[in-house]
Chains A and B, each alone.
Chain A
Amino acid sequence: MDFLGRDVISIKELSKDEITSILSFAKKMVPYAKGEQQTTILQDKVLSVLFFEPSTRTRLSFESAMNRLGGRVIGFADPSGTSQKKGESLADTIRMADSYSDAIVLRHPQEGAARLSAEFATHPVINAGDGAGQHPTQTLLDLFTIKTEKKKIEGQNVVLLGDLKYGRTAHSLAYALAFFGANLTFVSPESLRMPKEVVSECKEFGVEPVNTSHLDKAIKEADVLYVTRIQKERFPDPEEYNKVMGSYRVTCELLKNGKEDLIVMHPLPRVTEIDPEVDATPHALYFKQAFNGVPVRMALLALIFGRKTL
């Protein structure tokens, strides 16, 4: 497995073995991510973290990951103070950051931005989300969370809930879960169904996803309930939005119909999809999931710099 110098643009470019080895290295990172143990394996490295679009969680967890490994971070959290505003191309910004650092983490509102950046950078580029496109480290941390809680991904009954049409998190995760042989149920309003390309990708891995609008039934056999945000803008009629939000709200009442060890995940930020009363139950995994972003990104950073041991 050689990750040294690799770009990480899409989850689809990683093999099963590669994903598995990232996840097992991430497991070793947990005590370091918590600050219980210390390491300086990346003390000679500088990471550019370039966020052309705001995102608290992803940016902070990348920065924390680099710091926990003893490395240093440069970059910006939104492009307002940069020469992008003066009309500089992304390619030129990347060339510059590439010369100032040893790797680049990029969040950008346009699809394909990370792919383009990788063409202009000599150092590795990690895609931290490109518009409605890919966000591979989110998928990795989701897989890590399921694997850590459930021991394996294969055979788990996973329910994906919410905006499955536009949500990139849901698309990449469905692909990756099917890749690892999980059983998938897609719960969404009719107008926000999983795109057919994603469904046929799942089928190529021998997984037959079930499509339904009924959360209460789907939850009965579920091992994992993965909740995503439904954006109000997707609905021309606010009445319709309120109706959908009402029927897909995850509450303690709803979870009573599920298995005892059902875990509830969410990429966050959540709005009203999950009732705060769920937070105190053992089902609530979303905060731990958010923390998992740190060890997973630590593992990935260490590996692209060729550091396989702590």
Chain B
Amino acid sequence: MKELKITPIKEGTVIDHITAGNAVKVLHILKIPETTTSVVSVVINVASRIGKKDIVKIENRELDPKELNKIALIAPKATINIIRDFEVVKKSKVQLPREVFGILKCPNPTCISNAREPIESRFYVISDDPPRIRCYYCEREPEDVVDRII
């Protein structure tokens, strides 16, 4: 039980089955450590039945829908486990909606979504894994999706 090298958490979230090597990106979009003083444990390149994976365990934090969508772009196979009183009380796979709002920036400099307009960025999700997206405004398909996350 390699994973139990880490201290169990009482309340919080375990993000499991993160694409190996992407845990740091997940921490980055969750603004960790800047926005938390609780314990966060990270496991990178641990062996599992789906091959190597990363795991992020965050005490005293639940994720909002925008954060979940960002994780789905970084780690399409991730599982979100909600921990209460040391037990997994809820488990779900991340799932991208058909459109995502305000979590990506269009790389096209002349796209109207990059002008000073009262709108959020908006992208169609063309495929989940690997994630492919198309800008609702300029209709371009950025290739480096993860680097476009705000």
Contact = CB atoms under 8 A, between A and B. Distances in A.
Q: Interface size for chain B: under 10, 10 to 19, 20 to 34, or 35 or more residues?
A: 10 to 19
A112 B136 contact: yes
A119 interface: yes
A109 B119 contact: no
A119 B119 contact: yes
B143 to A, nearest CB: 12
Interface in B94-132: 108, 110-113, 115-119
B117 A89 contact: yes
A132 interface: yes
B137 A90 contact: no
Interface in A124-143: 130-134
Contacts of A197: 141
Nearest to B136: A115
Interface residues of A, number: 20
Given A110-B110, A110-B111, A110-B112, A115 B137 contact: yes
Given A91-B117, A91-B119, A116-B117, A132 B137 contact: no
B136 A111 contact: no
A113 interface: yes
A133 B119 contact: no
B113 A112 contact: yes
B144 interface: no
Interface in A145-202: 197
B87 interface: no
A132 B139 CA distance: 11
B116 A112 contact: no
A112 B118 contact: no
A247 B108 CA distance: 33
Contacts of B139: 10, 111-112, 133-134
Contacts of B118: 89, 91
A196 B115 CA distance: 28
B124 to A, nearest CB: 12
A116 B112 contact: yes
Contacts of B138: 111-112, 131, 133
Contacts of B112: 90, 108, 110-113, 115-116, 130
Contact of B115 (A10, A110, A134): A110
A110 B114 CA distance: 10
Nearest to B115: A110
Interface string A229-257: 00000000000000000000000000000
Interface string A261-296: 000000000000000000000000000000000000
Contacts of B115: 89-90, 110
Interface of A: 10, 87, 89-91, 108-113, 115-116, 119, 130-134, 197
13 contacts: A89-B115, A89-B116, A89-B117, A90-B112, A91-B118, A91-B119, A108-B112, A110-B112, A111-B112, A112-B138, A115-B112, A116-B137, A134-B139
Q: Which 6 A-B pairs have the closest CB atoms?
A: A112-B137, A111-B138, A112-B112, A112-B138, A110-B112, A113-B112
Given A10-B139, A110-B110, 15 more contacts: A87-B116, A90-B112, A110-B112, A111-B137, A111-B140, A112-B136, A115-B112, A115-B137, A116-B112, A116-B137, A119-B119, A131-B138, A132-B110, A134-B139, A197-B141
